[in-house]
Structure 1
Amino acid sequence: MALLDLDPRVVAGARALAARAAEPVVALAKAHTTVAVERATLRLAGITGADSTHRAGDVPWVNRVVDTVREHCGLEHGVALPVFHALRRHGLPSLTELAEATAAGQVRYELPTGRDRDRARRAATAAVTRGLRTVDRNRAQRDRLVARLGDPPRRPWIYLIVATGDIDEDVVQAGNAARAGADVIAVIRSTGQSLLDYVPEGATHHGFAGTYATQENFRIMRAALDEVSKEVGRYVRLTNYASGLCMPEIAVLAGLQRLDMMLNDSMYGILFRDINPVRTFVDQRFSRQVHARAGIIINTGEDNYLTTADAVDAAHTVTVSQLLNERFAHEAGLPDHLLGLGHAFEINPAVPESFRLELAHALLARELFPDAPLKWMPPTKHMTGDVFHGYLLDGFFNLAGVLTGQSILLVGMMTEAVVTPFLSDRDLALANVRYVLGAAGGLAEDFRPAPDGFIAQRAHQVLGEAVDLLGRIVDRGLLTAIAEGTFGLMKRPADGGRGADGVVEKAEDYVNPAAELLEAGLTGATPEQPEPEQPSSGQPGPGRPGSGRAGVAR
């Protein structure tokens, strides 16, 4: 039920402006590829493993291959044709063996022509199709498990972070968190992984303030949560981070290992990790297409703006970003039920009527996006180390989530932003959530802000300011607005930032079977599904037993 009486014409106008602001960026993303998109394509085609002989440490085979293709014949035509042409020409049985030969200097990549081009395209499409079948099977398996085990009996879902750096210890903490009531487990990434232009291989035990996102770590945690899901009688979801320089690859790995949610914001990497804007927008479009295919809920990062900008003065920038994230997501094929837009409880508690302001902002998000699983973030910026005050503030945050019908509630810690929380802190935080949900879980039924009261007026004000800002963004361009520090006070020029050298303008005859198949799924078209030619990529077929992961033997 709508409580704010928002003018539908204003709301429609805001969405129209967001679409106009996003259109040039979408066109830019379609016209370019990146090294990460090309690596993600080969990961779907079955390549796994790493070169452990390199003097600088393990180098993923997919990086080795893509970098060599770029050196030999460029990436403007895509990596698929040169790779599958070389696979056939050298008579190698798998992409991994092709990568080994590449590292030994035995392969010269070239762009095939004529019949060789047709053969390479068919083989690449067949290999990528097998990878996408794995993604599809995982989505169907999730649906079956949810149907059998059930979802949590109430909203919001309780979302809890584990972050030890050791995947085996994470498994222990995640299981205990689920038994204590958590519905979503987020394995936070090791500090700085978003700036790595490669995805580490294997299980890891040495992360920094988090655990590395790897395919094997994904597999281990998903298997562990499947076991605890049976124990607690509900499907426990798993979250990680599809952001940074390897956003498309991590999205693919998430689909191959049946993760359920991924942090995936259109501008977070630009603003808070200084990653090149063009690189980010290209990568996020491909990653969101993968998430749409995999049925993965994305979580956007608007809450981060309020850690650097004032949560009252900048409230409308959150709404603008939500509308832009919605537009980018819809264009990439993500429906509303997979769109976990973010917002946060970050107003200084010393501000008069701060709780009413928080309610206004949260209720505005809920009514603008009624079908989206909104993710409501706890207070961090104004946690001072006074654990008693922090615990009270988290209680108010939980109450705001109940009153405004939030979908995903990230559990706030009383020691947030002060020290790394202990297990006892998590236990107390979950007790706080359980108390509020138990005592006031249905209070939204009785909550009716006065039509002309403080909360409604504040929500209308923020929406009006968002519309004004969107109009200015349409006039100046989104990339210019980002460069000027519109969001989170971070100024990021379009030609700056990390990873700019990994952006490539597509040639007219660019080929990427993963992009083609994902686009076909988006439009409902039925692309040609050729029979695979030998030699294949070495990836298991859909009927072969195993763990369900796509790839060749290491």
Structure 2
Amino acid sequence: MAGKLGLDAAQVREARSLARRVGRPIVNTAKKHTTVSVERATLRLAGLQGADAEGTPWVNRLLDVVRADVGLEHGVALPVWDALRRGEAEDLLVLAQKASAGSVTFRLPEGKDAARATSAARTAVGKGIRRIDRRRVERERMITRIGDAPHKPWIYLIVATGDIHEDIPQAQNAAREGADVIAVIRSTGQSLLDFVPEGATREGFAGTYATQENFRLMRAALDETSRELGRYVRLTNYASGLCMPEIAALAGMERLDMMLNDSMYGILFRDINPIRTFVDQRFSRQVHARAGIIINTGEDNYLTTADAVEAAHTVTTSQLLNEYFAKEAGLEDWQLGLGHAFEIDPEVPDSFRLELAHAMLARDLFPKAPLKWMPPTRHMTGDVFKGYLLDGFFNLVGALTDQGILLVGMMTEAVVTPWLSDRDLALQNVRYVMNAVGNLHEDFQPKPGGFIVNRANEVLGDSIQLLSDIERHDNGLLDAIADGTFGLMKRPADKGRGLDGVARKARDYYNPATEILEAKE
């Protein structure tokens, strides 16, 4: 195996084989179930949008009535397009409005009626997927025409005012200051909402609501700035939580470029039911694959609750699982922004060497992936001088290990909401390190059999052992999650938010979105 650590190729193959064996039962479970959000995403792809006077999206209203009449296990497509073909309404919006008012009753069509409903549903949903295809081509043409970021890693910077109309000028100025990727942090708690708000929003909490209109507004603003700067500026948001499939569909249709999309984050840190999460993440990743969106996984979060040295192997294990789940859903290596973080206590002896070993292990295991490197947060104390130095060390590791996506660290991280001046200083830190280091990663080679190489091999060995232990559980990964293996969070498969929105598919289940995405048309 190529790489600077000289990892044993047989061990690496064993790790991936174990990840595949641990992950395959989860994929099989996901294939056998659907969720309310998967079905609502299907309606969104068919063009249904908007909300009633109370702010409840029409996709929610329509699905709730269909579910009450015929159940969720058959899917929403056949009952809905059967009703449209029977003349219950002239389009999806009117059908949703009439259903909400109680003037439509849905049925499961049979025979020729089912065949006609199938054809109509596939045509309608196919239009949404073709829109995603057009937006992907549009991105590729823009990058060819105006240029891309001239360097790696891409500099990733956050805006989070809560007001989309405040976020826009901040995002544009951040791009002018050197950011290559703008992440619009989502409003606190949105991941627990079982609906996607509508329209432009101005009252988020520590972030801005993820809505289709907010996506559209920010994408248009960054396109304008991209043309001004002569380089394409990427836009990131969150496809996580209870509405992961819907937000993925909206992101594809509005040409976002990256989405935070981790297979276990919602389970561990938001107590969302594991089955719900795995079903939703598979569908959302199929959409991301089609849209050419890069996913960002959330392994860095484990190190905010577990010790970054003792739990290093859980990060590697999760990366291997995330890789398997992502590729099974159709994502390619260049779309895998696998997460890891600089979170070792700086008082630990050789902490920098340990961080370097962990980052090099990720780079050697996933040589074609644009790894997402996250800055220190857990051990930021309020000493801004020490924090600034830690961020400099973080940037140095990023440069030495050829990371693909580098989130800018703030010296006031985890203490207060950073000022704009903090962001300016943080960007200066990144620019200095990257300019001074240049392509040092080409020259840097750890000593064979030395501290860094031995530590990387130790973590890989521990990861293989953990995957082997998980495989021996009666219910594999689901039992491991319930036992608190990742991030010390215990999340049983029969509990958690959103469980009531999961249904086992009936034999006659049909979803045109899944059919089209899996056919890779």
- TM-score bin, normalised by smaller chain: over 0.9
Q: Which residue matches 2:494? A: 495
In the alignment, the residues of structure 2 paired with residue 51 and residue 148 of structure 1 have an alpha-carbon distance, to the nearest angstrom, of 41
8 Å CA contact 2:181–2:233 kept in 1: the answer is yes
Shift of 1:289: 0.2
Opposite residue 197 of structure 1, the aligned amino acid is D
What TM-score results when the alignment is normalised by the length of structure 2? 0.99
Shift of 1:302: 0.1
1:101 to 98, 102, 105: 98
Between the two structures, name the one with larger relative contact order (CA 8 Å, sep ≥ 6).
1
Shift of 1:148: 1.1
Describe the SS at the equivalent of 2:426.
helix
Q: Which residue matches 2:36? A: 35
User: Are residue 160 (structure 1) and residue 162 (structure 2) matched?
Assistant: no
Q: Percent identity?
A: 73
Q: Which residue matches 1:8? A: 9
Q: Which residue matches 1:360? A: 357
8 Å CA contact 2:447–2:453 kept in 1: the answer is yes
2:239 to 223, 238, 242: 242
1:196-246 Cα distance to aligned partner (Å, 9 max, x none): 000000000000000000000000000000000011110000000000000
Q: Which residue matches 1:510? A: 509
User: Are residue 418 (structure 1) and residue 415 (structure 2) matched?
Assistant: yes
User: Are residue 46 (structure 1) and residue 47 (structure 2) matched?
Assistant: yes
What TM-score results when the alignment is normalised by the length of structure 1? 0.93
Opposite residue 356 of structure 1, the aligned amino acid is R
CA RMSD of aligned residues (A): 0.7
Q: Which residue matches 1:439? A: 436
Q: Which residue matches 1:227? A: 224
Opposite residue 488 of structure 1, the aligned amino acid is G
Mapping of 1:158-307 within 5 angstroms? 158-307=155-304
Describe the SS at the equivalent of 1:350.
coil
Describe the SS at the equivalent of 1:161.
strand
List, as ranges, runs of 4+ consecutive aligned residues in structure 1 with deviation greater than 4 Å: none
Describe the SS at the equivalent of 1:59.
coil
User: Are residue 371 (structure 1) and residue 368 (structure 2) matched?
Assistant: yes
Shift of 1:32: 0.2
In the alignment, the residues of structure 2 paired with residue 93 and residue 393 of structure 1 have an alpha-carbon distance, to the nearest angstrom, of 61
- Gap runs ≥5 in structure 1: 527-554
In the alignment, the residues of structure 1 paired with residue 308 and residue 146 of structure 2 have an alpha-carbon distance, to the nearest angstrom, of 39
User: Are residue 463 (structure 1) and residue 441 (structure 2) matched?
Assistant: no
Q: How many residues align?
A: 518
Shift of 1:2: 1.4
User: Are residue 520 (structure 1) and residue 498 (structure 2) matched?
Assistant: no
1:270-294 Cα distance to aligned partner (Å, 9 max, x none): 0000000000000000000000000
Structure 1, 100-109 or 230-239: larger mean CA deviation: 100-109
Q: Which residue matches 1:539? A: none
Opposite residue 322 of structure 2, the aligned amino acid is N
Shift of 1:509: 1.1
Shift of 1:91: 4.7
8 Å CA contact 2:132–2:291 kept in 1: the answer is yes
8 Å CA contact 2:380–2:412 kept in 1: the answer is yes
8 Å CA contact 2:88–2:95 kept in 1: the answer is no
Describe the SS at the equivalent of 2:378.
coil
In the alignment, the residues of structure 1 paired with residue 442 and residue 127 of structure 2 have an alpha-carbon distance, to the nearest angstrom, of 48
In the alignment, the residues of structure 2 paired with residue 407 and residue 470 of structure 1 have an alpha-carbon distance, to the nearest angstrom, of 26
Shift of 1:166: 0.2
1:495-553 Cα distance to aligned partner (Å, 9 max, x none): 010000000000011100000001101xxxx6xxxxxxxxxxxxxxxxxxxxxxxxxxx
Shift of 1:115: 1.6
Shift of 1:90: 2.8
Q: Which residue matches 1:485? A: 484
Describe the SS at the equivalent of 1:490.
coil
1:67 to 56, 61, 64: 64
In the alignment, the residues of structure 2 paired with residue 441 and residue 270 of structure 1 have an alpha-carbon distance, to the nearest angstrom, of 39
1:122-149 Cα distance to aligned partner (Å, 9 max, x none): 1100001100010000000000011111
Shift of 1:88: 2.0
In the alignment, the residues of structure 2 paired with residue 483 and residue 102 of structure 1 have an alpha-carbon distance, to the nearest angstrom, of 39
Q: Which residue matches 1:545? A: none
User: Are residue 23 (structure 1) and residue 20 (structure 2) matched?
Assistant: no
In the alignment, the residues of structure 2 paired with residue 254 and residue 83 of structure 1 have an alpha-carbon distance, to the nearest angstrom, of 24
Opposite residue 24 of structure 2, the aligned amino acid is E
Shift of 1:87: 1.5
Shift of 1:329: 0.5
1:460-495 Cα distance to aligned partner (Å, 9 max, x none): 000000000000011110000000000000000000
In the alignment, the residues of structure 1 paired with residue 504 and residue 134 of structure 2 have an alpha-carbon distance, to the nearest angstrom, of 33
User: Are residue 125 (structure 1) and residue 126 (structure 2) matched?
Assistant: no
Shift of 1:155: 0.5
